[in-house]
């Protein structure tokens, strides 16, 4: 039990609010950021209850990734633009905790 901490796959993360008010140009983009915030909160709540249905966890995770894909891969009028980096990628920073120092993200 004394050595479990360095193998803990669940690390604490800071809250990500997806509030990009100065960047969002349409109600649709605001709605997507709101959905991302809600989906992320739901996913983090799954960690507090080990008896969750795997299918529902998997479905919610896939929906979160589908929404989040726009921050990684640019999506234009003709679909995905391969080989290009999304201009939204540097707008959000995720910080995780070091599992040896506790639940505070560094």
Tell me whether residue 71 is in a domain. Answer: yes
pLDDT of residue 23: 80
Separation between Cα atoms, residue 22 and residue 29, nearest integer Å: 12
Tell me whether residue 74 is in a domain. Answer: yes
C-alpha distances out from residue 14 to 9, 11, 41, 86, 94, Å: 16, 10, 11, 23, 7
Tell me whether residue 73 is in a domain. Answer: yes
Tell me whether residue 48 is in a domain. Answer: yes
pLDDT of residue 58: 92
Separation between Cα atoms, residue 91 and residue 18, nearest integer Å: 9
pLDDT tens digits for 35-89? 988 998 888 888 778 888 999 999 999 998 888 887 777 766 666 666 677 777 7
pLDDT of residue 10: 62
pLDDT of residue 4: 47
If you count them, how many residues does the chain have? 106
Tell me whether residue 11 is in a domain. Answer: no
Domain range for 84 is: 27-88
pLDDT of residue 59: 93
Tell me whether residue 66 is in a domain. Answer: yes
Separation between Cα atoms, residue 96 and residue 85, nearest integer Å: 23
* pLDDT above 50 for 13: yes
pLDDT of residue 1: 46
């Amino acid at each position: 039990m004394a050595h479990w901490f360095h193998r803990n796959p669940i690390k604490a993360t800071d809250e990500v609010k997806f509030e990009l008010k100065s960047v969002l140009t349409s109600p649709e983009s605001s709605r997507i950021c709101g959905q991302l915030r809600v989906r992320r909160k739901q996913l983090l709540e799954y960690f507090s209850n080990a008896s969750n249905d795997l299918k529902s966890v998997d479905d919610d995770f896939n929906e979160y990734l589908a929404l989040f894909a726009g921050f990684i891969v640019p999506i234009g009028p003709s679909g995905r633009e391969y080989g290009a980096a999304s201009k939204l990628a540097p707008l959000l920073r995720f910080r995780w905790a070091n599992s040896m120092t506790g639940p505070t993200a560094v």
